[in-house]
Amino acid sequence: MSDIVKDLTNYRIKGIERAEIEYYKQLTQTLDRIEAQIVSLADQQLPRQAGKLIELQSAVAIRPKIKAILDKEYLPFADRVVRKGFGEQAKRVERQFKTIGLIPPEFQELTKGDLALVQNLKQQYYTQFKDVSNNFTRILSDKVYQNTLVGTEFTVLEKELRESINGIYATSSDPAVNRLVDYVKNNRDNPALASRVDSAVKILQSKYASTRVGENMKRYAGQILNDSLRDFDATLNFNKSKDAGLTYVKYYGDVIPTTRDICRRMVSGSLDKRANGLFTIEEIQDIWSSRSWSGKKGGNPLIVRGGYNCRHQFSYVNPDWYEEDGDETESLIESKQDTKPAQSIFGDTSSEEKKYLPLAFGTVATNFTRMINKVPKLPPIQKVKNGAYFRPSTNEIAMDSLDMENLATLRTFTHEFGHKIDHNIATILSADRKLAEKFIPNANKKILGTKLIDDVLDTSKNSKGLQISNIAQQEIMSDRKLLKDNLKIGLPSIENEKRSIINKITGKSISEKISIQTKFVEDTINAKNFPLNINEVKALLSDVGITYDPTALTTVNYVLQIKYKVIASQYGKFKKYTLANGVSENLSTRQYFNNGSFLRKFADYVGAVSDNTIGYGHTRTYYKRAFRTKTFARGYGDVTYHHSTEAFAQYTALSNTKNKEAYIKLMNYFAPNTTKTFDQIMERSKLL
């Protein structure tokens, strides 16, 4: 007879195994790229004499570049594991609780408390992945430094760097080694070839690498990948079961040759305390505390289970569900609910949307998913050579790439989908005036001889071009005025602050200079009105490939540009300003292009609001050629359809993808009125 709890536990375990295979493949590809880039970096940056490393200065200078490579390649991988991998596993846990219908309804779904736990676990395991990155930045940098210090051959360093990243799977100059490495990489997860793969690993360890290369990034990251998915499942399951009052457990999983004795005995029933095979939580704690075994992990046994690499899981049950002999009671059999997943949070979607929407908008219902649920299916995505677009008349999106593992591509897809939401929801409103009156905040407010609702739903210009983003036209103008007027103060203020710091460090020792500059940047960030904390500044700089360094001009400029709301613009004209020291200087937003970079999609959000007085991305010609809303102000221009829809599309991209919390704060800081109105529009998703 089938055992419902066993089937559902196996469903969770199989889900973890599939995710592990997928992410291990991605890890392998990521580390191969890192290996190639770091070796190439070392080759280009480290001067040699007769093949030997000679210059310590270059060896020191390479460290931030190594960090930048790891940040660029490895951290997005870690982000995917915790965001997508954990998100999907959370849904499997939820599905188990829903399928066993005997659990009270309020505990079947993921509660707010569960979601908070999921968020904390994501943060915790992301930090573990990040620690590996930081540790290996140091290890790789130390290898460069030590090899340069003693003047070894570059080829020796190259081998050490490769092995520190990929261990025995490092790329080698020996084709035989590379063949074996490829064989292991390609067949690692194929059970039919397990013994051959083991033999290949042994040959790599014994014949080609005289000692096993233990300290390598692949080993540590692979270990975290393996354990994090399983520990996440166990922690969430433990937490939900505790809330639901389930205090008995059963232990499940396959028995294979490497299964630990404790797991083998738990699964086989030789440690059973009662005929139905159930254990209380206290009994499990007693069994775990009275035994020791290789690879045992400290901590709650219900979460750490057999220890490192353990592939078994507990499931929580009520003893009333089982007869004394372990068979399921009628009530459990009858309670089993349809195991088909509930309808997607995105509604009826195309096959491409099924793949890409969860990556772009997550797997938990939000205001964005609620709106997507109401819009028509996306037609097949068109291919273009470079860039991307949305065509309102056909609802088509065109993109140059569909590699959604690339964060820039994912953000571009989310941006284009923002246009789709903007237009499709407006079409729904134009067909239902009563709904539109409720949906549009202050729908009947007067706006240049008409009402806001009438301008937003004005089909006379282009019936296919209606946009809900036009609801924010007046707020866009009020932010534009603030940003433009602020520039007269912002530009000289940045220069005054920089000169003041230069005065403070002049004549000081290097360590004093570092300390003064660090304090200056940290004080600026920690000031009450600054919108981000230091970790968010670091994350956003890393997003554009810059390492946070308070002594570097890029970091100083970035922080001051945020403080004074100044972003580069190609339309900036140089104007004379009198600085605090009485000196006149020509200043322009243009001078910040190379010395403080914002994410282009954020710069474009501000550009769309300010008509590129600050910010960049779309051109003024593009904004100008669109239909005009009723909002105009002398000296500040019109708010056109392109201003509002591009701001909304970037708001969508920035609110849903990596570092969204920080970008939401930044959008609210630079354009508070526009961002607040977009938030209000999104809140209205509940009315649809």
Q: Which is nearer to other proteins, 293 or 389 (CB)?
A: 389
Backbone φ/ψ region at 253: left (φ over 0), alpha (ψ -120 to 50), beta = left
* Sequence-ordered alpha helix ranges (H) in 46-190: 56-61, 63-80, 86-99, 105-108, 112-149, 154-166, 175-187
Q: At its nearest, how many Å lie between other proteins and the CB of residue 604? A: 5
Binding of other proteins by 553 (CB under 8 A): no
Binding of other proteins by 555 (CB under 8 A): no
The 10 Å Cβ neighbour count of residue 312 is 22
Q: At its nearest, how many Å lie between other proteins and the CB of residue 619? A: 4
Tell me the C-alpha distance between 26 and 5, whole Å. 32
Q: Give the one residue of 253, 362, 392, 490 binding other proteins; rule: CB under 8 A.
A: 392
Beta pairing partners, 383:
399
Which residues within the stretch 608-647 sit at the binding site for other proteins (CB under 8 A)? 616-622, 625, 642, 645-646
Q: Which is nearer to other proteins, 178 or 619 (CB)?
A: 619
DSSP state of 530: -
Burial class (CB in 10 A: 0-12, 13-18, 19+), 352: middle
Tell me the C-alpha distance between 103 and 180, whole Å. 51
Q: Which is nearer to other proteins, 75 or 201 (CB)?
A: 75
Beta pairing partners, 447:
450
Tell me the C-alpha distance between 36 and 216, whole Å. 15
Q: At its nearest, how many Å lie between other proteins and the CB of residue 607? A: 8
Question: In 170-283, at which residue ranges do the beta strands (DSSP E only) sit?
Answer: 248-252, 279-280
Binding of other proteins by 463 (CB under 8 A): no
Q: At its nearest, how many Å lie between other proteins and the CB of residue 603? A: 8
Q: At its nearest, how many Å lie between other proteins and the CB of residue 406? A: 8
Binding of other proteins by 658 (CB under 8 A): no
Q: At its nearest, how many Å lie between other proteins and the CB of residue 351? A: 23
Owner of token pair 């961002």: 675
Tell me the C-alpha distance between 489 and 492, whole Å. 6
Query: Stretches 237-245, 352-360, 563-571, 632-640: which one binds other proteins (CB under 8 A)?
Result: 563-571
Contact 225, 81 (CB under 8 A): yes
- DSSP H or E segment with residue 383: strand 382-383
Query: Stretches 82-90, 184-192, 522-530, 568-576: which one binds other proteins (CB under 8 A)?
Result: 568-576
Residues in the interface with other proteins (CB under 8 A) total 41
Q: At what angle are helices 4-45 and 154-166 packed, to 10 degrees?
A: 170
Strands 584-587 and 575-578: antiparallel
Backbone φ/ψ region at 418: left (φ over 0), alpha (ψ -120 to 50), beta = alpha
Q: Which is nearer to other proteins, 145 or 571 (CB)?
A: 571
Q: Give the one residue of 83, 311, 601, 630 binding other proteins; rule: CB under 8 A.
A: 601
* Sequence-ordered alpha helix ranges (H) in 280-398: 281-289, 301-304, 330-335, 351-361, 367-372
Binding of other proteins by 391 (CB under 8 A): yes
Q: At its nearest, how many Å lie between other proteins and the CB of residue 394? A: 9
Which residues within the stretch 398-437 sit at the binding site for other proteins (CB under 8 A)? 398, 400-401, 408-409, 412, 415, 419
Q: At its nearest, how many Å lie between other proteins and the CB of residue 590? A: 6
- How far apart, in Å, are the Cα atoms of 479 and each of 342, 409, 429, 448, 684? 42, 29, 26, 19, 22
Binding of other proteins by 574 (CB under 8 A): no
Contact 468, 681 (CB under 8 A): yes
Q: At its nearest, how many Å lie between other proteins and the CB of residue 67? A: 19
Q: At its nearest, how many Å lie between other proteins and the CB of residue 605? A: 10
518: tokens are: 């660090």
Q: Which is nearer to other proteins, 274 or 391 (CB)?
A: 391
Q: At what angle are helices 86-99 and 4-45 packed, to 10 degrees?
A: 180
- DSSP H or E segment with residue 315: strand 313-317
Q: Give the one residue of 410, 559, 606, 649 binding other proteins; rule: CB under 8 A.
A: 649
Q: At its nearest, how many Å lie between other proteins and the CB of residue 223? A: 32
Q: At its nearest, how many Å lie between other proteins and the CB of residue 621? A: 6
Q: At its nearest, how many Å lie between other proteins and the CB of residue 415? A: 7
Q: Which is nearer to other proteins, 505 or 544 (CB)?
A: 544
Strands 279-280 and 248-252: antiparallel
Binding of other proteins by 590 (CB under 8 A): yes
Burial class (CB in 10 A: 0-12, 13-18, 19+), 270: exposed
Q: Which is nearer to other proteins, 145 or 622 (CB)?
A: 622
Binding of other proteins by 80 (CB under 8 A): no
Tell me the C-alpha distance between 663 and 413, whole Å. 17
Q: Which is nearer to other proteins, 385 or 576 (CB)?
A: 385
Binding of other proteins by 387 (CB under 8 A): yes
Q: Give the one residue of 304, 568, 639, 662 binding other proteins; rule: CB under 8 A.
A: 568
Q: At its nearest, how many Å lie between other proteins and the CB of residue 296? A: 47
Q: Give the one residue of 68, 194, 388, 516 binding other proteins; rule: CB under 8 A.
A: 388
Binding of other proteins by 602 (CB under 8 A): no
Q: Give the one residue of 597, 613, 631, 674 binding other proteins; rule: CB under 8 A.
A: 597
Tell me the C-alpha distance between 554 and 336, whole Å. 59
**Identity of the amino acid at 481:** K
Binding of other proteins by 586 (CB under 8 A): no
DSSP state of 81: I
Q: Give the one residue of 18, 207, 383, 438 binding other proteins; rule: CB under 8 A.
A: 383
- The site for other proteins (CB under 8 A) is made up of 383-393, 398, 400-401, 408-409, 412, 415, 419, 568, 570-571, 590, 593-594, 597, 600-601, 604, 616-622, 625, 642, 645-646, 649
